[in-house]
Structure 1
Amino acid sequence: MKNQLSFFILLVFFSIFAKGQSPIDTTQREFSKLKFGLATGGGALFYAGTLTGLYTVWYQDNHKTNFHWTNDNDGWMQIDKFGHAYTCYLFGKLGMQSMKWAGVSRNKSVIYGGSFGVLFMTSVEILDAHYLEWGASPMDMVANASGGLLLIGQELAFKKQIVTYKFSFHPTELQNYRPDILGDAPMEQLVEDYNGQTFWLSLNLRSVFRHQKFLPKWLNIAGGYGAYGMLGGTTNAKYDIDGNLLPP
């Protein structure tokens, strides 16, 4: 749930300041101390404020323990792992764009700004690791790294995003059976109903075949992953919160 909250905050924040899945700005601007201060200060406030919010909402009423690992690989048919990678990709994109906006050199913007997502989600995993109800997940860490590497690796190798990580959602009727788990209101469903989430890798053909002028710049081919039929993380409950029998 806390990762879902992070994902929701990400969607709202990034859609306002970086227009979500828009192309990355490649303009090298003159360095501005004011813009750099605003970018780093805003990032620090967002980082600290969100982690504080997560602690207040999810952690403080649970059981603190020593650092420990957990295996949640069988949960939600791994849709949540794709969410981790996507979150790191977009947070990194936001950090990178913020550094470029401030006039930081390109490579530093890519490496330091692009690592913001991995830093944030690693902090969440460390919090997880100190509470009995959760634990740090190795596969979450792998997913986090993959999202950051997809962004940073392409920027360093190609100076652009040839493959873009994208997200889509469609409402499902399954949330009617378990609104407490899959969300009740539309925005809750967006982040809690994994049945409606699809994560895409979109390849821009013109970026690959640069000399084929007949290919429009907007043309992409994409492959996506989604899953359906999940009323619970690892198993489907037989009864809903009111004791009514659920479909198999």
Structure 2
Amino acid sequence: MKKLLTILSFQLLVYCAPAQKLTTFDIPDTTVKPRVWLLGGATAALYGGGLLALNSAWYKGYPKSGFHFFNDAGEWKQMDKMGHVFSAYMIGKYSRELWRWSGLPRKQQIWIGGVSGFAYLSVIEILDGFSEQWGFSWSDMSANVAGSALFISQELAWNEQRIQLKFSSYPQYYSDPVLADKANQQFGKSFPERTLKDYNAQTYWISVNLHSFAQNSGLPKWLNMAVGYGANGMIRATDNTWTDDAGTKYDYSHMPRIRQFYLSPDIDFTKIPTRKKGFRVLFQVLNMLKFPAPTLELTSEGRLRLHAIHF
């Protein structure tokens, strides 16, 4: 999924750019203009380079068209929309962490960082609008707004992220040879491809830090509860029928396309105290992933089951 790839590359800038340019990691109390220029230039370079790479890797093999709109709100059980919310949120979060280093006033850091995710994903949406394969999607844009708004509102209200978005993925493989071949074409064959492109494999989580809302409860500061959303049984965007290049038709409409809802404890790694900067960086990265834990699952078919460990 191209948005998730953007997040991973953005993390490198957040945690590596300052170390490469300056000898100090101190967070200043006042604005340091050379750092503002440095971060502005580095961010622009990352965005520009990322878009060029994305255009080459993602759009190059597809024909261009005039700018057009496409309504994909009903596709993939809205799992792709969850990906947009998550991506806008995470890019905003890491961008704000980066701009702390500039010493800019707190609200400026929040707005610059928070809007970054929305701005970057909006450019991708415009590129989609000029691709014959896709189109500009208002539902994607709404999801981008939601992700940025979730980050910005919490920073302004609490100066912390009490409600975090997280991601998990468990790639699936099919014993049916027809489904296996279609999945290889649709989602890729490698583990990274299946992780990022197969919506059946993904779960998106809203992870709430309990201590932040009940500070006198005696609960551990690192303890979260997470509500997850996933889907399964999806071979194509809207149905499970298709025709291959040879004209052979396949009908797997008997395979149910279901929604999955989860409830599970989680860990906020950033609440684990440490004086080691390396561990703080590691904890920030780990915090984008849901911690494997016992999980209660309820499906749209009414099936309820308990997983001893679910990721």
TM > 0.5: yes
Does residue 216 of structure 2 align to residue 211 of structure 1? Answer: yes
Query: How well do the aligned residues superpose, as a CA RMSD in angstroms?
Result: 2.5
* Helix, strand or coil at the partner of 1:194: coil
Match of 2:158 in 1: 158
Which residue number corresponds to residue 5 of structure 2? 8
Are the counterparts in 2 of residues 47 and 120 from structure 1 also a CA contact under 8 Å?
yes
More helix, by proportion:
1
Alignment check: 8 A CA contact 1:29 1:102 kept: no
Q: Describe the shift of the 1:45–1:194 C-alpha distance in structure 2 as closer, same or farther (beyond 3 A).
A: same
After TM superposition, what 4+ stretches of structure 1 lie above 6 angstroms from structure 2?
Answer: 239-246
Structure with more strand by fraction: 2
Q: Which residue of 1 aligns with 2:169?
A: 169
Identity %: 35
SS in structure 1 at match of 2:166:
strand
Question: Partners of 1:134 and 1:15 in 2: how far apart?
Answer: 29
DSSP 3-state at the match of 2:200: helix
Shift of 1:108: 0.3
From the superposition, tell whether residues 30 and 228 of structure 1 become closer, same or farther in structure 2 (CA, over 3 Å): same
The DSSP-based 3-state class of the residue aligned with 1:36 is: helix
Where do residues 31-70 of structure 1 align in structure 2 (5 Å cutoff)?
A: 31-60=31-60, 61-65=62-66, 67-70=67-70
Give the counterpart of 2:193 among 175, 188, 211: 188
Distance in 1 between the 2:242 and 2:47 partners? 39
Q: Take 1:59 and 1:173, find their aligned partners in 2: how far apart are those partners?
A: 27
How many equivalent pairs are there? 236
* Larger CA deviation: 224-233 vs 145-154: 224-233
1:220 and 2:224 are equivalent in the alignment: yes
Alpha-carbon contact 2:96-2:114 (below 8 Å) kept: yes
Q: Contact 1:14–1:90 (CA<8 Å) still a contact in 2?
A: no
Which runs of 5 or more structure 2 residues have no equivalent in the other structure? 17-26, 256-311
**How far is 1:15 from its partner?**
6.8
CA contact (8 A) 1:95 1:115 kept: no
Cα distance change of structure 1 residues 164 and 57 upon mapping to structure 2, 3 Å threshold = same
Q: Which residue number in structure 1 is paired with residue 23 of structure 2? A: none
Q: Which has the higher contact order (CA 8 A, sep 6+)?
A: 1
When the two structures are superposed, what TM-score results if normalisation uses the length of structure 2?
A: 0.69
The one-letter code sitting in structure 2 at the alignment partner of 1:125 is E
More deviation in 35-44 or 91-100?
Answer: 35-44
Query: Contact between 2:3 and 2:84, CA under 8 Å: does it hold in 1?
Result: no
2-structure distance, mates of 1:203, 1:219? 9
TM-score by length of 1: 0.85
Q: Which residue of 2 aligns with 1:23?
A: none
Shift of 1:41: 1.5
2 CA distance for matches of 1:86 and 1:94? 12
